Structure 1
């Protein structure tokens, strides 16, 4: 067992190393292009080794490590790190996925002239995620939370000269700030009620009852709504596919979007039953809407983006139904098979130079390794037996049915809809497999060179993630999640009891969904239902009409009001001031200066008269005296 001082230093090393290296590469510029990718991968591998070593040395023991940040009279603000099983799990996942993405990017972005900027942003993102998962209080978590948002903005808009990428980055940034505003309000409410945001102290200080406690929990959940693209803030994630595909694999499959689920796991003890019910409803709505939106998409990456949103909704349901271990289990399995699917999609795009699935087809023979990796990861996503997704999905479904049995009434709709969502997942993945890998090739340019398998730097990460998506990796019995090593770290609650009928129902629905997806035509008939899916329930149009358009109109009205009223009023006041200034100037010259000049002239004249009397002639003085005497006598008589 390591002493706390050593653990403390290692954790600071893990967090600061990506920030320092990313800053160096960004400052050094293009001169580092030749080796920056390899250096980033080596540093991430070092972090992965250190994280793995910490797992073996600390085990599941909980440590709280503090460093004084700001010291003020009567109060100190610490930076607190919390090390427990969840922290160590996330450290390994973040480092491992980041390492595979960086290796993949060495080939995928080989011809990119700004590789230094890409790997610099990627390193900053990794450091931000590591700080987020290590945070021991919500204020520190919020600081790294915002850094994650900033670095994701930079990565989504990496090709900023492309208008769609720049717009997608701005959209992601703004919609995340909306959720983060609620998160920050929740932190303030928590601080008001408990006087602390330290995760080790809150269980003894926060009272989880009353409307204010429910409001606090929901405000904290708003952070999850933004980062994990839950309803109604879902529309930024599909647009974020404008970024490089490795970014999609890292940020939008395994790490950033999982931050919201991580947050819920950290604050679950703060959530009241009413807050948990609301969280469950939001997760259910998100899961169904996103699964249906994926059905008729034609962009290979957008199908996976909507799938990610749907799976995150399923994890939120797990959190809302008090099945925290089940949700974290699915978070772990999802990180591997969804990252594998995104990297497989990138390999396909790299080979055919289009993201439109209608222009693909027949690629299983041209790209057999990519197809094999995709097939395993897609089976895991669909929840088929022998694959990891089957184990984690059944855990969440069992927990949801258990919760519904305790709640009663309409609560059974939640697990039933979750089963329906599993069928939709299998449906859109079967459709994607048919369009991309089966049939005949439908190239966008017939003269394009023949498609061939991607290089080893692209295929090895895909195959490795496919292997990690097998059920044997997580459980000695791939048909039973109860035998999984995962529940040795996170003991299951009563909601995790297994039921054979749930597995049979889920697999049957998935098989039916796969059959329906396979039968869907390449170019389906345009109907209101298909357009509803293609346009993601018209959410963007709704937001533009109900939120963006009113704000734009208000801005235009304010601009016109400023021009026509405020500016004219200011102009009139200015003109009035000019006229008044002229009047004051005339008054000053004609009246004030006139009085002063008249007094001066009078004084001058009197002085001249007096001076004429003082002429030095005695007879004049005698005459003046006589005249004065006569005047006095006249007054006296």
Structure 2
């Protein structure tokens, strides 16, 4: 197909969601009843366009002249290829199911039109990233994704915590985006363009050390968007937004953008840059898994799990296999969206009709035994949890094993210290199986710990149908015919060449997973399983993160140096800068009063004296011209007398 044939699909893919955003936003609350269905239909149309215009294995690039800076011409370039096709299908599919779910979940909200308008803006921004053929175009939509996430996380702007969470996400992402922009400007300085095709040809003209620095700066964008250490603190707090928004952010849009960026720029990452990527991914993976072990909030446990899984994807890029990173991104999108929507179904079921003081419907300590009241939700949650835990016959098993295999192959070339990283991946997979078993038991098994006023009930079909579809997409056969062979058709389709297959990896990984599940199961028979029966401290919300290392989370350690610097700068500003400004102000005030006194007594005084003198002389002269002879005689006598005195004096 010629490139020009993709002009209309590009216009429609970007124009439809943006037009829908304007329609729903400007239409106001009068569109509340139809907003969800309008958004879902537009997204369905985008999915149909993505499927009908797909041309896997080929590259089609559209270029539009934008502006000229000196001798450099900057174009808006968009690309249709295998990666964009994959992401278009994933983003539209998950967004469609999330919006369908939201029609029931957000039914009673007064601002439904604004909610679906922001989702369409989010979708428009993410599609721009997916279709971008240059880093400049990607950066434009990158910032729009940041804006969209801010609007959606803080959707309930009348509440303090959502607003705070939205601000935190916005600020931490700006730090990563600043590094991303720095890398873009450095590439523009050395090559004069940021088009991926040109960069791949001109990469040899950049000095190796500078290329490493550029790669690390570009990776900074991923650190922010994909919640990597040390900028991962915003992701768990983003749970303050509506639950379907959490599914959208964690599965197919914002956090996926960073991994997609790494796949696009993988050829720019030197060996040293990949080591940095690998180390950051490993820290994030382990940290997220550890924090999920002690969480009580049903959504925050899944959020920490997302942190851990994103770290795993970043590690895959560090191993030099961006294909397996995208493979896990694809599988993770479906089962993590299913988990969040299922969690939303649970929250919907245990939320009482009236407010109960001190009761948090997201606290797993107040759940238990819900599998009978929520049979469909239980099945959907179980399937998606099994995929996340990496059990055989589920999609997560295939993608995790592919990354573990790449890790051991990379370590065999790197040397003995390199084996630490794939071993950490296996250990993290075990932790994942443990905390997901813990969550399953706390929510669906054991005794019912809910207050008497809570009456759990299954969600309506508009909610459980998307959950069921996402659960079905979490099975293995969508990605490989052989449930134990990670190198199925999907990996080959996205560009991975046939590589070495380690037969023992699935068995070792599965053994660690089953051992972890067994250890978690043993906890369920304890007298106080997972400390669930411990009294809940007064005023402690379930969403409070389990801050390890004496109460500090990773982002706190990143902020501590800046906090110390800020304190010193505050002291300098108060004792030196402010003191100097105050001195200048006081001096200016005194000097102004002095100038006013000089002006009043000397300048104005001289003017007044001159006027007085002239006026007095004029008055005296006027008095002498009175017309009376006596006056003239006196003047004449006085004049003669003064003349005689003057002559005598001489």
1:135-154 alignment runs, 5 A limit: 135-154=132-151
Q: Deviations over 1:373-426 (max 9, x none)?
A: 111111111111111111111111110111111010311101111110000000
1:516 matched to 2:514: no
Structure 2 CA distance, aligned partners of 1:71 and 1:439?
Answer: 67
Q: CA deviation at 1:591?
A: 3.6
Alignment-derived partner of residue 24 in structure 1: 23
Q: CA deviation at 1:571?
A: 4.0
Q: Give structure 1 stretches of 5+ with no counterpart.
A: none
Say if 1:533 and 1:157 are closer, same or farther in 2 by CA, change over 3 A. Answer: closer
Q: CA deviation at 1:562?
A: 7.4
1:192 matched to 2:189: yes
Say if 1:532 and 1:424 are closer, same or farther in 2 by CA, change over 3 A. Answer: farther
Structure 2 CA distance, aligned partners of 1:351 and 1:555?
Answer: 50
Structure 2 CA distance, aligned partners of 1:182 and 1:505?
Answer: 39
Alignment-derived partner of residue 12 in structure 1: 11
1:489 matched to 2:494: yes
Q: Deviations over 1:40-75 (max 9, x none)?
A: 1011000000001111xx222011110122356754
Alignment-derived partner of residue 223 in structure 2: 225
Say if 1:37 and 1:503 are closer, same or farther in 2 by CA, change over 3 A. Answer: same
Q: CA deviation at 1:574?
A: 2.0
Alignment-derived partner of residue 446 in structure 1: 452
Q: Pick from 319, 322, 325 the counterpart of residue 323 of structure 2.
A: 325
Q: CA deviation at 1:467?
A: 0.9
Q: Give structure 2 stretches of 5+ with no counterpart.
A: 352-360, 524-528, 535-542
1:534 matched to 2:534: no
Q: Which moved more, 1:175-184 or 1:358-367?
A: 358-367
Q: CA deviation at 1:186?
A: 0.8
Q: CA deviation at 1:550?
A: 5.8
Alignment-derived partner of residue 399 in structure 1: 406
Tell me if structure 2 keeps the 8 A contact 1:323–1:493: no
Q: Deviations over 1:406-457 (max 9, x none)?
A: 01031110111111000000010000011111111110x21322x2221111
Alignment-derived partner of residue 430 in structure 1: 437
Q: CA deviation at 1:463?
A: 1.0
Structure 2 CA distance, aligned partners of 1:588 and 1:412?
Answer: 89
Say if 1:493 and 1:536 are closer, same or farther in 2 by CA, change over 3 A. Answer: farther
Tell me if structure 2 keeps the 8 A contact 1:358–1:523: no
SS in structure 2 opposite 1:112? coil
1:206-605 alignment runs, 5 A limit: 206-207=203-204, 209-353=207-351, 354-443=361-450, 445-449=451-455, 451-492=456-497, 494=499, 497-520=500-523, 521-523=529-531, 534-535=546-547, 537=549, 538-539=552-553, 541-542=556-557, 546-548=561-563, 551=566, 554=569, 558=573, 566-567=581-582, 569-591=584-606, 593-594=608-609, 598=613
Say if 1:240 and 1:569 are closer, same or farther in 2 by CA, change over 3 A. Answer: same
Structure 2 CA distance, aligned partners of 1:323 and 1:375?
Answer: 30
SS in structure 2 opposite 1:257? helix
Say if 1:441 and 1:25 are closer, same or farther in 2 by CA, change over 3 A. Answer: same
* RMSD across aligned positions (CA): 3.3
Say if 1:400 and 1:606 are closer, same or farther in 2 by CA, change over 3 A. Answer: same
Q: CA deviation at 1:254?
A: 2.5
1:174 matched to 2:171: yes
Structure 1 CA distance, aligned partners of 2:233 and 2:215?
Answer: 24
Say if 1:389 and 1:209 are closer, same or farther in 2 by CA, change over 3 A. Answer: farther
Structure 2 CA distance, aligned partners of 1:560 and 1:243?
Answer: 42
1:161 matched to 2:173: no
Q: CA deviation at 1:133?
A: 0.7
Q: CA deviation at 1:77?
A: 2.5
Q: Deviations over 1:478-521 (max 9, x none)?
A: 11022333323322364xx2212111111111111112223342
Structure 2 CA distance, aligned partners of 1:611 and 1:206?
Answer: 106
Structure 2 CA distance, aligned partners of 1:558 and 1:485?
Answer: 59
Say if 1:534 and 1:332 are closer, same or farther in 2 by CA, change over 3 A. Answer: same
1:68-107 alignment runs, 5 A limit: 68-70=65-67, 74-107=71-104
Say if 1:21 and 1:179 are closer, same or farther in 2 by CA, change over 3 A. Answer: same
Structure 2 CA distance, aligned partners of 1:356 and 1:400?
Answer: 37
Tell me if structure 2 keeps the 8 A contact 1:299–1:355: yes
Tell me if structure 2 keeps the 8 A contact 1:149–1:173: yes
Q: CA deviation at 1:600?
A: 7.8
Alignment-derived partner of residue 540 in structure 2: none
Tell me if structure 2 keeps the 8 A contact 1:104–1:458: yes
Q: Deviations over 1:341-391 (max 9, x none)?
A: 111111111101211111111111211111111111111111111111111
1:38 matched to 2:17: no
SS in structure 1 opposite 2:265? helix
Structure 2 CA distance, aligned partners of 1:270 and 1:589?
Answer: 76
Q: CA deviation at 1:244?
A: 0.6
Q: CA deviation at 1:193?
A: 1.3
SS in structure 2 opposite 1:76? strand
Alignment-derived partner of residue 357 in structure 2: none
SS in structure 1 opposite 2:78? strand
Structure 2 CA distance, aligned partners of 1:329 and 1:108?
Answer: 30
Structure 1 CA distance, aligned partners of 2:458 and 2:170?
Answer: 36
Q: Deviations over 1:547-591 (max 9, x none)?
A: 457647855874787776634642442243023212222111334
Structure 1 CA distance, aligned partners of 2:304 and 2:463?
Answer: 24
